[in-house]
Chains A and B, each alone.
Chain A
Amino acid sequence: SQQGEEDPQALSIQEGENATMNCSYKTSINNLQWYRQNSGRGLVHLILIRSNEREKHSGRLRVTLDTSKKSSSLLITASRAADTASYFCATDAQGAQKLVFGQGTRLTINP
């Protein structure tokens, strides 16, 4: 069963605004990863944050990890229409040797 829960399930904002997506998980992890998927396409790896890290940046992306709350957030700043996609978190649980995906957030950026 999937262990990641994401909210919101869908998010619609205006271009230029910031978008924040949250992910919660249940067990201890080695790392947490965020992926983007455009409709009908494969996954694009965005960021990997390890369990001993609290924050990571990549361009307009900022990921935080709170292992005490078993949660992570993905912030996309200055959103663009091209950011429209589904975003998934995936956890690499300790001892599991596999990724478990959250339910995803469908992000729509309105021009």
Chain B
Amino acid sequence: GAVVSQHPSRVICKSGTSVKIECRSLDFQATTMFWYRQFPKQSLMLMATSNEGSKATYEQGVEKDKFLINHASLTLSTLTVTSAHPEDSSFYICSARDRGLAGGSMHFALSTDTQYFGPGTRLTVL
């Protein structure tokens, strides 16, 4: 089945530093990737939708200058948490949409796509 990887799996950083998290689709092309954050014992909250070759679409309340997203290729999206603070400590999870055909056909209806989730990145800001 489709596999999505994330790197790093966990990171501890000092307040004020920036942290980059990578999300890769390993055996399929993903024109769309999604970034979520999850606080302990809570559900996933969508932060932004990342489209290859275009600007990300951020959900209401998510600061685009704080959480920089780059989707430079069909298999890689990155999330950079800039000037991280302790309140940014969370579990960040990406997902990638599999179009269902090699190369990611645009003829498939978006609603039939399956999302595959990465294993998550635990960010702790001291």
Residues of A within 8 A of B (CB): 2, 30-31, 33, 35, 40-45, 48, 50, 88, 92, 94, 97-104, 106
Closest 5 CB pairs of A and B: A30-B111, A42-B119, A43-B117, A101-B44, A42-B120
Residues of chain B within 8 A of A50, CB atoms compared: 112
B119 touches A41 (CB 8 A): yes
B46 touches A99 (CB 8 A): yes
Residues of B within 8 A of A (CB): 6, 32, 34, 36, 41-46, 49, 91, 93, 95, 109-112, 114-120, 122
CB distance from A43 to the nearest CB of B (A): 4
Please, which residue of chain B has its CB at the minimum distance from the CB of A10?
A: B41
Residues of chain A within 8 A of B111, CB atoms compared: 30-31, 92, 94
Please, which residue of chain B has its CB at the minimum distance from the CB of A100?
A: B46
User: Which of B6, B44, B110, B122 is close to A88, meaning CB atoms less than 8 Å apart?
Assistant: B44
A45 touches B116 (CB 8 A): yes
A35 to B38, CA, bound (A): 14
Q: List 20 A-B contacts (CB under 8 A).
A: A30-B109, A30-B111, A35-B117, A40-B91, A40-B120, A41-B119, A42-B117, A42-B118, A42-B119, A42-B120, A44-B117, A45-B114, A48-B114, A88-B43, A92-B111, A99-B34, A99-B46, A101-B46, A102-B43, A106-B41
Residues of chain B within 8 A of A101, CB atoms compared: 36, 43-46
A45 to B117, CA, bound (A): 8
Residues of chain A within 8 A of B91, CB atoms compared: 40
Please, which residue of chain B has its CB at the minimum distance from the CB of A31?
A: B111
12 more A-B residue pairs beyond the given contacts A35-B117, A103-B43, with a C-beta to C-beta distance below 8 A: A30-B111, A40-B91, A41-B119, A42-B6, A43-B44, A43-B93, A94-B111, A98-B34, A98-B46, A99-B46, A99-B95, A101-B44
A44 to B116, CA, bound (A): 8
Residues of chain B within 8 A of A106, CB atoms compared: 41
